[in-house]
Structure 1
Amino acid sequence: MKIVKNIILLVLIVFVIASVYLATLDGSYDVSRTRRIKADPEVVFNDLNDYRNWKDWGPWYEQDSTILVQYADNTIGEGGAYTWTSDIEGGGSIKTVEINKPDQIKQEIIFETPFGDMKSDIYWNLKKVESDTELTWGMKGELPFFSRFMASGMEDQLGPMQERGLELFDENIQRKLKIYSIDSIGVVDFSGGFYLYLTTSSKIDQMNPKLAEMMEEIEKFISKNRIRVTGNPYTIYHKFDQENGTTMFSVAYPVQERIITTDSDILTGFMDRGTYHKTILKGSYNNLEEAWQKAMFDAANLKEHTMQDSGEPFEIYVNSPDNTLDPSKLITEIYVPVQIR
């Protein structure tokens, strides 16, 4: 009996020493990696925001072929979720808890382990850098008391996985951006009509963020005043000086009738009925420059028509990244004013 008592005493001593040691350790961890991606933040955000897209780049699929995923009814935005099982790594679940489009996504992930569930917080931070996106993927949390000693190794465990995941995500985005088509429709008659608009001048390379801000401002005005629009939004180009890198343009929403705006910068304009050469781009906005080059070339080489020197070309956004998450399925119509020779 004395031997048994001594063994129990020894175990208790070891337990106490281990507990004291563990109490001195910090069990928290925060591991992240960053990669610059040649795509607009909105494109990157939309792809990340839908869990169904993760199967195209998730680095865990390279290491574990036994993973089976079960998607929730909602996989997009706040509340979006999925669960998984694995014969090798065990199961788990992930859920989106907060989004701030297109700057940040916060998620909660739970791993099922032999020692119980382990919860971590995932964060995706998106920062626009010139025409690219600086994407940061991070995971942070607090290990259980008796697992604190593992915290110092989380950097080595998670870091390489994040680096590989960002690499695969980037490759997947670039593949999607390269899927596009440009079709020349020919000469068409455009009916014109009233439209609400905002106008500004800017550097060509600063146009996209300005366009998005103006579009949002008009949308808020339309919603607040319960105005019915009669078509898709478009951009009218008043001036486009590639040599000096400047442009003057208006963002417009077609409306049924003239609307008098007295306390807003938003005005009502009218577009006359006219003849235009129409080109359709199906794919990412990254391909707009090539689409416009083709549109202008085709319009300048028509047999029975010639381009109008004083005309103002425009582009209509048939859909948008808000309702079309796959950039390869975006549709933009380009109209170049022409007249009979």
Structure 2
Amino acid sequence: MSTYSVTRSTVIPAPAKDVFPLVNSFRGWPKWSPWESVDPDMKRTYSGAEAGVGAKYAWSGNRKAGAGTMEIVESKEADVVRIRLEFTKPFHAVNPTAFTFAPEGGGTRVTWTMVGEHKGIGKVFALFMNMDKMVGGDFEKGLASLASAVGSRPA
């Protein structure tokens, strides 16, 4: 079984206390997530806590969007958000995901990491597709959108 990790980071010119809430609540994700526009008719469901540990999000969309769930499993104010990301379509996979927030310069370094394992059909898929190349660009786009969303929030 082979494993992979995709990590991207950027410095957002704002304190972590301003960035953290947009990640810590799935209801804030439509403002910055790179996947929100993949399927305009995507069905979204929020459940559990409003934010932090126990917050849940489920989506179901077209072939490109697929379907799955996310649940925040660890949340430390302005420090870390850990998510259990489970894809159910087009194939099943569980990908632990984390966002970390660290002061840097006059802003916050936000690091987005997703790990996973290639197993089953995913092993064959991995022979032809590089997960870092496939997902890394989305992470970069998402972090840039997160920076814009923080900049557009009222003070």
- The TM-score, its normalising length taken from structure 1, stands at 0.43
Q: Which amino acid aligns with 1:144?
A: K
TM-aligned CA distance change 1:114 to 1:38, over 3 Å: closer
Counterpart check, 1:122 vs 2:97 = yes
User: Hey, what does 1:192 align to over in structure 2?
Assistant: none
* Superposed displacement of residue 98, structure 1: 0.8
Deviations 1:204-240 (A, max 9, x none): xxxxxxxxxxxxxxxxxxxxxxxxxxxxxxxxxxxxx
For structure 2, the residue ranges without an aligned partner over 5 or more in a row are none
User: Hey, what does 1:173 align to over in structure 2?
Assistant: 150
* Superposed displacement of residue 92, structure 1: 0.7
How far apart in 1 are the matches of 2:95 and 2:50? 19
Q: Which amino acid aligns with 2:133?
A: D
Identity %: 26
User: Hey, what does 1:155 align to over in structure 2?
Assistant: 132
Contact kept, 8 Å, 1:77 with 1:96, in 2: the verdict is: yes
For structure 1, the residue ranges without an aligned partner over 5 or more in a row are 1-25, 180-282, 284-341
* Superposed displacement of residue 59, structure 1: 1.0
Greater percentage in strand: 2
Identify which of 36, 56, 60 aligns with 2:11.
36
Greater percentage in helix: 1
* Superposed displacement of residue 57, structure 1: 1.2
Counterpart check, 1:69 vs 2:44 = yes
Counterpart check, 1:144 vs 2:119 = yes
How far apart in 1 are the matches of 2:90 and 2:32? 28
Contact kept, 8 Å, 1:75 with 1:82, in 2: the verdict is: no
Larger of the two Rg values belongs to structure? 1
* Superposed displacement of residue 170, structure 1: 0.6
Alpha-carbon RMSD = 1.6
Counterpart check, 1:110 vs 2:115 = no
Query: The residue matched to 1:125 in structure 2 has which SS?
Result: strand
Moved over 3 A (4+): 149-152
User: Hey, what does 2:25 align to over in structure 1?
Assistant: 50
Contact kept, 8 Å, 1:27 with 1:147, in 2: the verdict is: no
Counterpart check, 1:90 vs 2:56 = no
Query: The residue matched to 1:63 in structure 2 has which SS?
Result: coil
Instruction: Please give the residue correspondences for 1:144-293 in structure 2 after superposition, counting only pairs within 5 Å.
Output: 144-151=119-126, 153-176=130-153, 179=154, 283=155
Q: Aligned residue pairs: how many? A: 152
* Superposed displacement of residue 114, structure 1: 4.7
